[in-house]
Structure 1
Amino acid sequence: MDGCCRPGWCQGSSQRGSHTSNEVPHLFTEDRKPWRGILLYGPPGTGKSYLAKAVATEANNSTFLSVSSSDLMSKWLGESEKLVKNLFELARDNKPAIIFIDEVDSLCGSRSENESESARRVKTEFLVQMQGVGKDNDGILVLGATNIPWTLDAAIRRRFERRIYIPLPEAAACATMFKLHMGSTKTDISDKDYRMLGNKSSGYSGADISIVVRDALMSPIRKVQSATHFKYVRGHMPDDPDTIVDDLLTPCSPGDRGAMEMSWMDVPGEKLKEPVVSLKDLDLSLTRTRPSVNLDDIKNYEQFTADFGQEG
């Protein structure tokens, strides 16, 4: 997600965040104040956590404190409130600082009649700390991430002054993700092929694409294990890439010229040449791996954005 797949808001928000006021304080005077709270929301697997880390990387002079809601919850009475308070005090002692809270909805969900007293106290403490009553919160940016923003307590939601929708990736970003996840794996897939895969990946999250590629990367192993025939080919020795030989064995169809009936167990390990990952492999994996986000979910995010947020 970092670099080429990063939305443009990431750089802008980090540069306009609270740490900037420490670098150029004369830009932030009177009514011009840096953002104190930013909420990242969107479908699972769209890289909200990666984006938060990207902000921290760009704000390299800031202390980055990353926690999950579960890190702040304790079964002991009063302990959760102390953990929340200690987190903010640690940030104040190490300003400029960025506090990132993943799955913030678990900590700050909507109030209900069935809510426990301890959950209410935790939310109250979180509100107090974010508001900074009697405290100096200048130089502190709170980043929250959630997959279900509509469950947030209304008062908490207001504390996150910017609420940014991180949607599913567009075709170009999907194509880039396919290429990034393939890494240095040997393949005959071209940039045009990657663009075609990106166009076919509407509705897939970054995490979904990662799973598609992982499945495709296993395809050569499946071909080797299921093959009934092998043939000799020219190639680099697996244990000595500088040496080229003519007697490597690779899976083939029974009708191929030079095909020999044998199983992979009959092939010496140093002579086995695995097939490359092909476009067909990725296309097949894409067909049998369904998106994890459905249309109803997308409608909920779009409605929340229309009511409370903004596009990323």
Structure 2
Amino acid sequence: MLDLCVLTKLISTFTMNSSPHHTQSPPLNSTHEDIDERLKNIDSKMVDLIKNEIMHKYKNLDWDDIAGLDYVKSIIKEAVVYPLLRPDIFTGLRRPPRGILLFGPPGTGKTLIGKCIASQSQSTFFSISSSALTSKWVGEGEKMVRALFAVAAVYQPSVVFIDEVDSLLSKRSESEHDSSRKLKNEFLVQLDGAATNDEDRVLIVGATNRPQELDDAARRRFARRLYIPLPEINARILILKNLLGTVCNDLDESNIQEVGNQTKGYSGADMDILCREASMEPLRSIPPDQIPHIVKDKVRPVNIDDFMSALQSVRPSVSKDDLAQYIEWNKEYGAIRQLK
């Protein structure tokens, strides 16, 4: 049976080469937007700002670059990637959701998933944090959101990744500032798709570490809400192997298994910090006055003792109480099939 990643690539190649329904986005340096109807009422300076600071050229990513999360990846491929590749097939009831929410502890790969969606669906990738939107463009946030989605529509298929989306779409209150309320309302309009054509292929991916702080209206508009949990043992081992591939080491399978067993509760980011700390141990064993002159090949490989030492100083960053909140929120609003 064909692997889904392989199938994605085959579909991608087919749609690029032969599908009459595929419309290629203009190149990043194109002047196409100057004459596009969707940008006629948009400030050209904002368009340039979006192209220079928010629209990104991503490196090609494969689902294998993301350790574990098999259920999440299968849902995303079915609900998002394939529809973006084949809009002629995914119509009517099969039409993809306008927005998906990725929630869970920090450091679990939510941003990487957003980039992989764009890569696998051959989409233009737009990335912005809510904090930047609310602070960098004070008073201009509403216009910036409108401009962002107009540009995304021009360069479709597009993936708009919003980090820290909870700070942008937090629960509304009577004390809320007028500019904040307008920004929030504009974003909700865009998430609804009311300001765009029904056929536009623009996906909004929101990422948050605090899903419980989202406004109810925003939560409802994210039709798919996927829990991105801490990596399980097999995923931690894969992360270890990937990271160790960048440094000379003499760890065997049993050593890697031991480290994997001792890192329960570590996020992907925690695993990265752990490996970095262990990789420094061989250098610390060298007298400081010799480091400027030592031959690289004379630095000993990283070993299991280095990891045992690193484990004493690098601890999990996510508390058990926080994990319990994520699991509870997932039970109420997320894809409960993820729970075991």
Query: Is TM-score (shorter-chain normalized) higher than 0.5?
Result: yes
| Residue identity matched to 2:80 | G
Output the TM-score relative to the length of structure 1. Answer: 0.80
Q: Which runs of 5+ in 2 are unaligned?
A: 1-62
Deviations 1:275-296 (A, max 9, x none): 2211011122113211100000
Aligned residues of 2:90 and 2:96 also touching (Cα < 8 A): no
Partner residue in 2 for 1:101: 162
| Pairwise CA RMSD | 2.4
How many residues get paired? 273
More helix by share: 2
Distance 2:83 2:292 in 1: 62
Distance 1:212 1:22 in 2: 38
Q: Which runs of 5+ in 1 are unaligned?
A: 227-263
Larger radius of gyration: 1
Deviations 1:245-264 (A, max 9, x none): xxxxxxxxxxxxxxxxxxx5
Aligned residues of 2:98 and 2:192 also touching (Cα < 8 A): no
Output the TM-score relative to the length of structure 2. Answer: 0.74
Deviation at 1:49, TM superposition (A): 0.4
Out of 70, 74, 79, the position equivalent to 1:16 is 79
Distance 1:304 1:106 in 2: 18
Q: Secondary structure at the match of 2:203?
A: strand
Distance of aligned partners of 1:86 and 1:267 in 2 relative to their CA distance in 1, 3 Å threshold: closer
| Residue identity matched to 1:302 | I
| Residue identity matched to 1:17 | V
Partner residue in 2 for 1:294: 319
Out of 204, 214, 218, the position equivalent to 2:266 is 204
Partner residue in 2 for 1:253: none
Deviations 1:147-203 (A, max 9, x none): 111111110111100100000000111111112112242211012211121111111
Distance 2:167 2:311 in 1: 32
Deviation at 1:265, TM superposition (A): 4.4
Out of 276, 285, 289, the position equivalent to 2:310 is 285
Deviation at 1:266, TM superposition (A): 11
Partner residue in 2 for 1:51: 113
More strand by share: 1
Deviation at 1:299, TM superposition (A): 0.6
Aligned residues of 2:164 and 2:207 also touching (Cα < 8 A): yes
Out of 195, 199, 216, the position equivalent to 1:154 is 216
Distance 1:282 1:44 in 2: 23
Distance of aligned partners of 1:103 and 1:75 in 2 relative to their CA distance in 1, 3 Å threshold: closer
Deviation at 1:268, TM superposition (A): 6.1
Distance of aligned partners of 1:295 and 1:271 in 2 relative to their CA distance in 1, 3 Å threshold: closer
Distance 1:300 1:267 in 2: 49
Structure 1 residue 88 corresponds to structure 2 residue 113: no
Distance of aligned partners of 1:137 and 1:144 in 2 relative to their CA distance in 1, 3 Å threshold: farther
Partner residue in 1 for 2:329: 304
Aligned residues of 1:216 and 1:285 also touching (Cα < 8 A): yes
Q: Secondary structure at the match of 2:286?
A: helix
Aligned residues of 1:19 and 1:140 also touching (Cα < 8 A): no
Partner residue in 1 for 2:283: 221
Structure 1 residue 140 corresponds to structure 2 residue 202: yes
Distance 1:26 1:107 in 2: 34
Percent identity reads: 40
Distance 2:202 2:118 in 1: 12
